[in-house]
Each structure stands twice: as structure tokens, then as C-alpha cells.
């Protein structure tokens, strides 16, 4: 923005000697700034301080190292097993998303109006539309009755407190067990777990994540970082 200092300068014949000298000084300052710019650009160029390809390669290398470290933790020792692992990982992620969607469906299934809103929202998501209207029940509240766990897979693996949590949070047992295992494993690896890490790890409704996180802390399954 050194040019801004010159934008209003105009040399005219009736300038006093002092004003003329002042304008000359401003121009000299501008020239010195231009020289400093060129000096910095030359240093950057000579030392390769701005090299987009270099930074891109560094990012790709870090990504590849992270992927290889994931393989090592999973006990993968060859590329054939790595391809199988990636394929199964994708399948597990798709199954996790299906369970999350099932939990949302169960939350609204007893309210036809709220269920219809949910279906419309999913259709808008699939079509790429942004959404700002929350789903509400006929009573005008977002609360829903406790989830009935009867007959749901994985219920038999829960203790009474976990069943109560799933009912209140309206989370199917299979999804809860998967989220719990993921949080416990990450806690063991990190030596503790923060709420922000938990939210980044299981990627569901933040309020549900908070309740699961607090519950596991109280039960001693995980510890805070």
C-alpha cells in the first residue's frame, strides 16, 4: 500500500521550496519501499521459500505416512491386505452411516409429521440443497419418547444403565456399541479423550455425542484428556 502515499501528490509550479522538498521525500520513501520489496522477493525466490509444489508434496507425504501408520496399527503387512482393509473399512463406514440414519428414523417414526419432515430433509440433502429448518413434532417440541429397545440387535449386550442411555438418547444398541468401542480405543491410544475429539471421531448429533461421552466418563470407560 505504499502507492497510497503518492496518490494525492501533484507537483505544481507554485509549490513552496519546503512543500516541494516534502513531496520529493515522499517519492524517495516510496522508491526505498519498492527496493525493499524487490529484495524480499529475491530472497524468497533464491531460497525457494514459496514453492507450492513442495508444500503439496509434503501434504501428500504426510497423508501417505498417516495411512501407512493406520495399516501398521491394524497389522497390515502387504498391499494386497491393504486393499482388502480399505474395502472393508469403506463397508464399515457405510454400515455406520446406515445405523446413524436408522437412529434418526426411530426418533421420528412415532410422529408422522416429523417423520415426513425428516424424509423431505434427506431428499433435499441428496439433491444438494442446504437446510435451515429443524424437524419438530406435532407438539411443537423436538423431544421424543424413549426408544423401545425390544427386539433391536445388540440389546442383550447392554447393561441396565446402557439400555437407559440408549432409550433416552434414542440410539440403537448396535450403533452405541460401535461408538463406545471407538471412543474407548481412542482413549487408550491417546491416554485420555476430549469431547472435541469424541465429536470428530463418531460424527453424529453433537448433543448425543455429549451424552455418550459424559456417560462413559461417569462409568469409568474413558478418561478426560
- CATH number of the domain where residue 161 is located: 1.10.10.10
- 160 in any annotated domain: yes
Cβ atoms of residues 27 and 9 within 8 Å: yes
Judgement on whether residues 123 and 68 belong to the same structural domain of the protein: yes
Domain count, the chain: 3
Give the number of C-alpha atoms closer than 13 A to the C-alpha of residue 192, restricted to the C-beta side: 3
Share of the chain above pLDDT 70, in %: 76
Q: Is pLDDT of 137 > 50?
A: no
Find how far residue 177's CA is from the centre of its chain: 22
Q: Look up the domain containing 17 and give its range.
A: 2-47
- What secondary structure does DSSP assign to 65-100, as a single string? HHHHHHHHHTT--SHHHHHHHHHHHHHHHHHHHHHH
Model confidence over 148-176: pLDDT tens digits? 888 888 888 999 999 999 988 888 888 89
Judgement on whether residues 121 and 72 belong to the same structural domain of the protein: yes
3-class secondary structure, 116: helix
Judgement on whether residues 161 and 207 belong to the same structural domain of the protein: yes
- 171 in any annotated domain: yes
Last residue of a domain, one of 13, 30, 47: 47
Helix 79-108 × helix 112-126 angle, to 10°:
140
Rounded-to-integer distance, Cα 154 and Cα 166, Å: 11
The predicted model scores a pTM of 0.42
Q: Which among 204, 202, 207 is positioned nearest to 187, based on CA atoms?
A: 202
- 150 in any annotated domain: no
Amino acid at each position: 500500500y505504499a502507492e497510497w502515499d503518492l496518490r494525492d501528490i501533484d507537483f505544481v509550479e507554485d509549490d513552496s521550496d519546503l512543500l516541494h522538498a516534502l513531496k520529493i521525500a515522499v517519492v524517495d520513501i516510496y522508491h526505498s519501499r519498492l527496493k525493499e520489496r524487490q529484495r524480499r522477493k529475491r530472497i524468497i525466490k533464491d531460497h525457494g521459500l514459496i514453492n507450492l509444489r513442495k508444500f503439496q508434496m509434503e501434504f501428500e507425504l504426510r497423508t501417505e505416512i498417516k495411512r501407512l501408520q493406520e495399516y501398521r496399527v491394524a497389522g497390515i503387512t502387504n498391499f494386497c491386505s491393504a486393499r482388502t482393509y480399505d474395502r472393508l473399512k469403506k463397508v464399515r463406514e457405510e454400515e455406520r452411516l446406515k445405523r446413524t440414519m436408522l437412529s434418526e428414523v426411530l426418533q421420528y417414526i412415532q410422529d408422522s409429521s416429523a417423520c415426513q419432515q425428516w424424509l423431505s430433509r434427506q431428499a433435499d440433502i441428496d439433491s444438494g440443497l442446504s437446510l435451515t429448518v429443524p424437524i419438530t413434532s406435532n407438539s411443537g417440541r423436538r423431544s421424543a419418547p424413549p426408544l423401545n429397545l425390544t427386539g433391536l440387535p445388540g440389546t442383550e449386550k447392554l447393561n441396565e444403565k446402557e439400555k437407559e442411555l440408549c432409550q433416552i438418547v434414542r440410539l440403537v444398541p448396535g450403533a452405541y456399541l460401535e461408538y463406545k468401542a471407538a471412543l474407548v480405543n481412542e482413549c487408550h491410544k491417546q491416554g485420555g479423550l476430549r469431547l472435541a475429539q469424541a465429536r470428530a471421531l463418531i460424527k453424529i448429533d453433537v448433543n448425543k455425542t455429549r451424552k455418550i461421552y459424559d456417560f462413559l466418563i461417569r462409568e469409568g470407560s474413558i478418561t478426560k484428556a
